[in-house]
């Protein structure tokens, strides 16, 4: 067992390693060098004086924010002898399940590629490149024929995989019991119950004011809203990541949200971020990926059909096409349960060879025309909805891209990969079921009886973190808290709260279809009251 001291120094070493060579590092060095000319810097106390200077000019804060960000994405520390894979995902059967799921996806993609005769990757002829460059800002104007492409998988396919997870350590010898078949998720993970949630989310309690409740039209703004906005402005002025995160637990005011989220996610829009985005854009212009068609299709089917997100169609393409080529996203897999491989893609002639790395993840598989590759984030049906709400906050594609990527790397990826993380979709599903079983056992039993397992309905909400199901302003209030608490747990709690809210109607339905109908329209729901009542107003 490592003691805390050495654990800390390992962490520090890791963070220093990661921040070395970044734009921030060079800026800090530059600032430190230049400040030496200043009169207040004395030779005998040079260290303290430089530090003081960096603090006064806000550079120390920027460094703090960067360190804070690194802490967020650092994998949990494990035994020094353990392979990286094991620290990413300690449960072997989870690792296996994720690997085989990815294999399945890749296989499906490959067979689509064979069936349709479309290559996985293809270099664009110069004329096509020119054309794409000129219509970069209006890619949505095209209406390409996408009828032959189908999404590689939909959330319900993924649910089937989760339902069939098997923990080899689990003793099934007592056969079918009421307990073993109470819910759909067959494995046990530690999930929090309501008393524990109350302790974890004190800012949502009845005695605590927040946006989404206490900014209602009939509540005088003097009671909470005005003061909260004033504090928010201060937080933004201070440029403090950690403070912004804490602040966001009570909600972000509409006028400050974009800045607050950027602060929490430490999106600095450095020249290196801009350059990175331009590079990705160049990659999009340069070659065409099969995955691009899936992206087009997904945007056309989901966001473009939405009453509010249709306006953002063009920028969604800009973000998602770049995202599928972003190898820096790979590094998040260093704490995802999957192992990224390397890959090459050959051109049709076999002569051109270019290393296009599909976001990684999957073992190599040969496919048509001798192309070997591995694929990374394969968009499933509804993927574009992760980005759509962000378009409401950010206008420039580069910034929007950075925000989305960071959110994906911190949260969204957990919603569609198999892991034991408390924010992972498996835990969320389990937690949802447990909450209903404990607090609404009659409802759970009833729905199960009529073959309308609650998880089958709630799953699609959770996989998308409710995007596209709630009205935008409510969704943003929910995502405020996801960022504030750095956890997706509230997604599961909200799903349970929605069932609790409509329990009366659900008790009267007699089929899955009617249960779906009762829960079809969530656009009128107010998220914060639902969460608050479920967590703090229910009798335990």
Partner 1 sequence: MSKSKTGGYKGPYGYQKRKDGEGRSCVRYKCSLMNTVLDVLHQRPGWVEVKEDGEWDFNWCDVGWLRENFDHSYMEEHVRICHFRNHYELTRKNLMVKNLKRYRKTVEREAGRLEAVKCDFFPLTFVLPSEYHLFVEDFKRSPGSTWIMKPVARSQGKGIFLFRKLKDIMEWKKDCTRSDEQRDEAQVESYVVQSYIENPYLIHGRKFDLRVYILVTSYLPLKAWLYRDGFARFSNTRFSLRTIDDQYVHLTNVAVQKTAPVYNPEKGCKWQMQQLRRYLTAKHGTYVVEELFKDIDNIFIRSLQSVQKVIINDKHCFELYGYDILLDQDLKPWLIEVNASPSLTASNQDDYEMKYSLIEDTLHIVDMEGRLTGKEKRVGGFDLMWNDGPVFRENAGLETLGSPFQTANTHLGGVNDRKKQLRQLLKPFPGQKKV
- Give me the residues that bind partner 1 (CB under 8 A), please: 137-138, 141, 217, 220, 222, 229, 253-258, 307-308, 310-315, 391-393, 395, 472-473
Q: How many residues does the chain have?
A: 540
Distance of CA 357 to the CA centre of its chain: 21
Nearest to 324 by CA among 383, 378, 396: 378
Residues 6+ apart with CB under 8 A from 93: 165, 166, 167, 168
Query: Looking at beta carbons only, is 174 or 222 nearer to partner 1?
Result: 222
Closest CB to partner 1 among 385 and 429? 385
| Least Å from the CB of residue 472 to partner 1 | 7
Closer Cβ to partner 1, 137 or 196, answer by number: 137
CB of 253 to partner 1, least distance (A): 7
CB of 256 to partner 1, least distance (A): 8
* Between 317 and 380, CB nearer to partner 1: 317
Minimum CB distance to partner 1, residue 218 (Å)? 8
Q: Name which of 295 and 393 has its Cβ closer to partner 1.
A: 393
Backbone angles phi, psi at 122, to 5 degrees: -155, 135
The residue (of 239 and 437) whose beta carbon lies closer to partner 1 is 239
**197/470 with CB nearer partner 1:** 470
Residue 238 to residues 67, 224, 230, 256, 409: CA-CA distances in angstroms? 16, 21, 13, 13, 26
CB 120 within 8 A of CB 357: no
Choose between 190 and 523: whose C-beta lies nearer to partner 1: 523
Largest CA distance in the chain: 82
C-beta of residue 151 within 8 angstroms of C-beta of residue 297: yes
Nearer to partner 1, 470 or 535 (CB): 470
Nearer to partner 1 among residue 153 and residue 309 (C-beta): 309
- DSSP tag of 534: I
Least separation in angstroms between residue 263's CB and partner 1 is 15
Q: Which of 392, 385, 394, 403 is nearest to 469 (CA)?
A: 385
Q: Which long-range contacts (CB under 8 A, 24 or more apart) does 454-458 make?
A: 454/499, 455/159, 455/183, 455/184, 455/185, 455/429, 456/156, 456/159, 456/184, 456/512, 457/515, 457/516, 457/519, 458/432, 458/495, 458/496, 458/498, 458/499
- 191: exposed, middle or buried (Cβ count in 10 Å: 0-12, 13-18, 19+): buried
CA nearest to 183, candidates 470, 428, 498, 536 = 428
Q: How far is the CB of 140 from partner 1 (least distance, A)?
A: 8
Beta strand ranges found along 295-441 (DSSP E): 345-346, 353-354, 365-367, 371-373
Rounded Cα gap, residues 286 and 124, in angstroms: 6
User: Which one, 253 or 376, has the nearer CB to partner 1?
Assistant: 253
Least distance in angstroms from the C-beta of 217 to partner 1: 5
In the complex, least distance from residue 304 CB atom to partner 1, rounded to whole angstroms:
10
User: Toward partner 1, which CB reaches closer, 401 or 534?
Assistant: 401
Nearer to partner 1, 304 or 346 (CB): 304
Least gap, CB of 51 to partner 1 (angstroms)? 34
Closest contact distance (angstroms) between CB of 292 and partner 1 is 20
Query: The tokens 């260290």 sit on which residue?
Result: 47
Burial class for 99, CB neighbours closer than 10 Å (0-12, 13-18, 19+): middle
| Minimum distance, C-beta of residue 124 to partner 1, in the bound complex (Å) | 23
Q: Give whole-number Cα distances, 213 to 138, 206, 228, 471, 533, in Å.
A: 39, 10, 13, 15, 11
In the complex with partner 1, which residue's Cβ is closer, 312 or 413?
Answer: 312
Q: What does the alpha-carbon distance between residue 469 and residue 527 come to, in Å, rounded to a whole number?
A: 12
Least distance (Å) between residue 391 CB and partner 1 = 7
Collapsing DSSP to helix, strand or coil, 251 comes out as coil
HEC assignment per residue over 369-410:
HHEEECCCCCCCCCHHHHCHHHHCCCCCHHHHHHHHHHHHHH
- Structure token digits, residue 128: 């096509």
| Least distance CB 235 / partner 1 (angstroms) | 15
**How many Cα atoms sit within 13 Å of 412 on the Cβ side?**
23
Strand locations in 15-143 (E): 121-123
User: Least distance to partner 1 from the beta carbon of 477, Å?
Assistant: 12
């Amino acid at each position: 067992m490592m003691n805390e001291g050495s654990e800390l120094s390992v962490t520090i070493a890791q963070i220093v390693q990661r921040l070395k060579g970044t734009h921030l590092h060079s800026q800090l060095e530059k600032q430190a060098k230049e400040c030496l000319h200043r009169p207040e810097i004395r030779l005998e106390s040079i260290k303290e004086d430089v530090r003081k200077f960096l603090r006064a000019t806000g550079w120390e804060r920027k460094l703090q924010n960067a360190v804070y960000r690194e802490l967020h994405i650092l994998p949990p520390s494990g035994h020094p002898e353990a392979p990286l894979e094991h620290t990413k995902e300690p449960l072997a059967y989870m690792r296996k399940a994720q690997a085989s799921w990815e294999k399945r996806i890749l296989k499906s993609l490959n067979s689509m590629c064979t069936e349709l005769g479309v290559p996985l990757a293809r270099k664009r002829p110069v004329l096509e490149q020119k054309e794409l460059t000129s219509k970069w800002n209006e890619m949505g104007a095209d209406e390409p024929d996408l009828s032959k492409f189908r999404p590689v998988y939909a959330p319900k396919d993924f649910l089937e995989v989760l339902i069939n997870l098997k923990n080899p350590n689990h003793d099934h010898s007592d056969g079918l019991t009421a307990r073993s078949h109470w819910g759909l998720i067959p494995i046990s993970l530690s999930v929090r119950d309501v008393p524990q949630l109350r302790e974890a989310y004190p800012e949502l309690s009845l005695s605590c004011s927040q946006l989404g409740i206490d900014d209602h039209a009939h509540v005088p703004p003097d009671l909470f809203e005005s003061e909260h906005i004033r504090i928010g402005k201060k937080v933004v002025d201070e440029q403090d990541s950690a403070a912004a995160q804490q602040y966001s637990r009570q909600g972000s005011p509409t006028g400050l949200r974009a800045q607050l989220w950027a602060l929490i996610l430490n999106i600095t829009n450095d020249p290196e971020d801009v350059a990175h985005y331009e590079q990705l854009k160049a990659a999009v212009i340069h070659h065409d990926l099969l995955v691009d068609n899936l992206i087009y299709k997904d945007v056309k089917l989901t966001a473009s059909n939405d009453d509010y997100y249709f306006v953002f169609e063009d920028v969604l393409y800009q973000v998602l096409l770049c995202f599928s080529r972003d190898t820096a996203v790979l590094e998040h897999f260093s704490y995802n349960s999957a192992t990224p491989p390397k890959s090459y893609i050959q051109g049709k002639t076999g002569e051109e060879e270019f290393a296009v790395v599909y976001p990684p993840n999957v073992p190599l598989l040969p496919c048509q025309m001798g192309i070997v590759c591995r694929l990374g984030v394969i968009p499933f049906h509804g993927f574009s909805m992760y980005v759509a709400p962000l378009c409401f906050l950010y206008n420039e594609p580069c910034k929007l891209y950075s925000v989305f990527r960071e959110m994906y790397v911190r949260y969204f990826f957990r919603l569609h990969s198999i892991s034991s993380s408390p924010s992972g979709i498996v835990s969320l599903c389990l937690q949802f079921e447990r909450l209903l079983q404990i607090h609404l056992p009659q409802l759970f039993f009833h729905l199960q009886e009529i073959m309308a397992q609650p998880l089958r309905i709630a799953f699609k909400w959770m996989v998308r973190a409710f995007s596209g199901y709630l009205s935008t302003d409510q969704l943003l209030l929910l995502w405020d808290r996801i960022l504030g608490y750095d956890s997706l747990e509230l997604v599961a709690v909200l799903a349970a709260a929605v069932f609790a809210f409509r329990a009366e109607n659900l008790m009267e339905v007699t089929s899955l279809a009617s249960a779906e109908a009762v829960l079809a329209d969530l656009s009128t729901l107010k998220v914060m009251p639902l969460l608050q009542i479920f967590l703090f107003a229910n009798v335990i």
